[in-house]
Amino acid sequence: MAADAYSRLTSGHGCAVATSGPGATNLITGIASAYYDSVPALFLTGNVARFRDKGKTGVRQMGFQETEFVEMCGSITNYAVKVTDPRLVRYELLKALELSKAGRPGPVIVDLPDDVQRADIDPAELVPWHGAQQADSSGDTASLREKVAKVIQLLEGAKRPCLILGWGVRLAEVEEGVRELVVAMGIPVVTTWAAADVLPNDHPLLVGSFGTHGTRYANFAVQNADFVLSIGSRLDSKATGSPASSFAREAKIAMVEIDQSELDKFSQLQREIFLPIKSDLRLFVPLLLSQLQEHETPDHGVWLTRIATWKASYPQATTANARSGPVDPYHLVEVLSDLLVDDDIIVSETGCGLAWMMQGFRFKKGQRFLHAFNFTPMGWGLPGAIGAAFARPGQRIICVAGDGSLQMNLQELVTVTRHNLPIKIILLNNHGHGMVQQTQEMWLGSKYYATSVEGGLAFPDFVRVANAYDYPTWSVCRNEELDSALRESLALPGFSFLNVEIASDARVIPQVQFGRPNEDSAPLLDRREFLENMIVQPLPVSLSL
């Protein structure tokens, strides 16, 4: 997980090394996190010596801790290989590194039997790697130009356009070009969680995050759009809601994606992509920018004013008005937004804390937000923060954690202190698994089995645990205590630990319930009020509470 996070902040590769058997299999969640977010990372694993390999004997295991790790990880890697000839070490390492960044990036594995690791090698005998055979894409240039021209045509004919930015913007390293593109197009921008930090919060065209756990106003914007240009987002179910046919249903969608399968999937989801564009953003973005210079930007003032009205009517921090009383998580996010500075790096665990941050945090210029957005495992945040700290030596890292997630890799608290990493841990301690409880409320009659203390969970005194690891600690339980505690813990050089007591019934608001379109999130608005916000035809499911 640390190697994954390291890769996200650099143009190189994070690399993790593990021993055979359980050492290798313990990497799988981190490898999957990198794969589903298309992050290039290198994983080197050991295995039993070749003469202990079970081969075709039919037994489960011959050598001690023998594991078919390459076979296990074939579906979550760009490339995975077991090196059985020492002369192929250079060849396989260089091949793996190249394939990790070819097309849609992803992690790679090189598995090394014990005797291969120990082999004496004459460098002159190493098999060279001459690079993968690259497909000639020059013939696609004319087609891409035609599609870019079609995008501009659709933009010029739209009254209510929206631009979606996704994680591919970061992967292709075209952030600056996309920021220029936003200005050139002059249309409202919504983001997936993974691209929430591309534009600062004060950008006049930024609306916010959309989707099943997005903001109400951003969902109104997307769902009422008549043209959507999606750049670098695969438009997964968290973005579209369910069914996908309800997503931006009266809009013509132009979708730019490097993976043809992501474009093709919509034929099975009953949602047409009007203009599918298979392209690397490093080609598409400058080409669209260049062609836009030849056109006059349409005036979308009326549409932008409507979106501004939605933002004013449905501010995300709706419960943060009271500055006293028990800690409100949205108020915490609001205060944290104010106190963090340009270029801070924020890493999050999963669960409610992630959703609260993605709905309410106001990003400043240069800030980065890291998470394993598509796999979103518990326990990713703390090792992710460690990887970020090594990727950006000396830079302050803020790790927003939940009590359940932190326990998954609690042992890494000592890694932080051992290396004196400037990681500020902010624990949102609600004494339960709040995100799962919210699902249990929707579908299981609010029976909190295995998600609450009463339902079988147990939690330590985290402040005492942090003290045992020599962390300076703070603990707050009221809104009025937040500002000073956050200031002190953030200002302290090195690492720190702030425990924030959150009510066990704190929930993600709003959140789209399965079966309702994204514009109709819970808690449901009064139907008259809801209908007043709809420009497109509401679906039957939304016509009654």
CATH number where 487 lies: 3.40.50.970
With contact defined as beta carbons under 8 Å apart, do 223 and 243 qualify?
Answer: no
Confidence of residue 132 (pLDDT cuts 50, 70, 90): confident
Look at residue 324 in the predicted model and tell me its pLDDT: 76
Look at residue 544 in the predicted model and tell me its pLDDT: 86
DSSP state of 326: B
The average pLDDT across 293-302 equals 92
Using a pLDDT cut of 90, give the percent of the chain over it: 94
The amino acid present at 14, given as its one-letter code, is: G
Q: Which of 83, 81, 58, 70 is closest to 25 using CA atoms?
A: 70
| DSSP calls for 116-151 | HHH----GGGSPP---------GGGHHHHHHHHHHH
Range of the domain at 181: 138-313
Look at residue 50 in the predicted model and tell me its pLDDT: 94
The average pLDDT across 82-97 equals 97
Verify that 43 and 145 share a domain, yes or no. Answer: no
Structure tokens at 296: 């006059």
The average pLDDT across 380-408 equals 97
CA 254/CA 273 separation, integer angstroms: 6
Distance set, CA 239 to CA 202, 533, 539 (Å): 23, 20, 18
Handedness of CA 438, 441, 444, 449 (dihedral sign): positive
Distance set, CA 99 to CA 57, 68, 74, 85, 133 (Å): 32, 21, 14, 20, 11
- Classify strands 108-113 and 473-476 as parallel, antiparallel or unpaired: unpaired
With respect to residue 27, please indicate whether it lies within any of the assigned structural domains. yes
Q: Is the pLDDT of residue 297 over 90?
A: no
Q: Is the pLDDT of residue 138 over 90?
A: no
Q: Is the pLDDT of residue 382 over 80?
A: yes
Verify that 69 and 192 share a domain, yes or no. Answer: no
Verify that 353 and 471 share a domain, yes or no. Answer: yes
Look at residue 134 in the predicted model and tell me its pLDDT: 62
CA 48/CA 50 separation, integer angstroms: 6
With respect to residue 396, please indicate whether it lies within any of the assigned structural domains. yes
Q: Model's pTM, two decimal places?
A: 0.95
Angle among Cα 130, 132, 136 to the nearest 5 degrees reads 120
Verify that 204 and 60 share a domain, yes or no. Answer: no
Q: Domain tally for the chain?
A: 3
With respect to residue 509, please indicate whether it lies within any of the assigned structural domains. no
Query: Average model confidence (pLDDT) for the chain?
Result: 95
Query: Given 313, 347, 367, which residue is the final one in a domain?
Result: 313
Look at residue 304 in the predicted model and tell me its pLDDT: 98
Verify that 157 and 67 share a domain, yes or no. Answer: no
Confidence of residue 319 (pLDDT cuts 50, 70, 90): low
The average pLDDT across 199-228 equals 97
Structure tokens at 176: 């600056």
Verify that 121 and 145 share a domain, yes or no. Answer: no
Verify that 121 and 173 share a domain, yes or no. Answer: no
Using a pLDDT cut of 70, give the percent of the chain over it: 97
Look at residue 317 in the predicted model and tell me its pLDDT: 66
113: enclosing H helix or E strand: strand 108-113
Look at residue 48 in the predicted model and tell me its pLDDT: 95
Which pLDDT tens digit goes with each residue over 230-281?
999 999 999 999 999 999 999 999 999 999 999 999 999 999 999 999 999 9
Look at residue 254 in the predicted model and tell me its pLDDT: 98
Look at residue 273 in the predicted model and tell me its pLDDT: 97
Verify that 68 and 159 share a domain, yes or no. Answer: no
With respect to residue 16, please indicate whether it lies within any of the assigned structural domains. yes
Which pLDDT tens digit goes with each residue over 517-529?
999 999 999 999 9
With respect to residue 540, please indicate whether it lies within any of the assigned structural domains. no
CA 539/CA 386 separation, integer angstroms: 46
Place of tokens 């929930």: 507
The average pLDDT across 296-323 equals 85
With respect to residue 521, please indicate whether it lies within any of the assigned structural domains. no
Cα Rg, the chain, nearest whole Å: 25
The average pLDDT across 49-73 equals 94
Verify that 414 and 278 share a domain, yes or no. Answer: no
CATH number at residue 290: 3.40.50.1220
Look at residue 141 in the predicted model and tell me its pLDDT: 87
Q: Is the pLDDT of residue 380 over 60?
A: yes
Q: How many CA atoms lie within 13 A of 184 on its CB side?
A: 18
Which pLDDT tens digit goes with each residue over 190-199?
999 999 999 9
The average pLDDT across 54-58 equals 93
Q: Is the pLDDT of residue 465 over 50?
A: yes
The average pLDDT across 360-375 equals 97
Look at residue 316 in the predicted model and tell me its pLDDT: 83
Look at residue 318 in the predicted model and tell me its pLDDT: 53
Distance set, CA 54 to CA 49, 72, 86, 327, 418 (Å): 10, 16, 19, 57, 40
Which pLDDT tens digit goes with each residue over 485-535?
999 999 999 999 999 999 999 999 999 999 999 999 999 999 999 999 999
The average pLDDT across 88-100 equals 97
With respect to residue 321, please indicate whether it lies within any of the assigned structural domains. no
Verify that 6 and 99 share a domain, yes or no. Answer: yes
Cβ-based neighbours of 135, under 8 Å, separated by 6 or more: none
Verify that 170 and 266 share a domain, yes or no. Answer: yes
Cβ-based neighbours of 154, under 8 Å, separated by 6 or more: 227, 229, 252, 254, 274, 275
CA 320/CA 322 separation, integer angstroms: 6
By mean pLDDT, which of 26-35, 312-321, 474-483 is the weakest? 312-321
Verify that 373 and 463 share a domain, yes or no. Answer: yes
With respect to residue 17, please indicate whether it lies within any of the assigned structural domains. yes
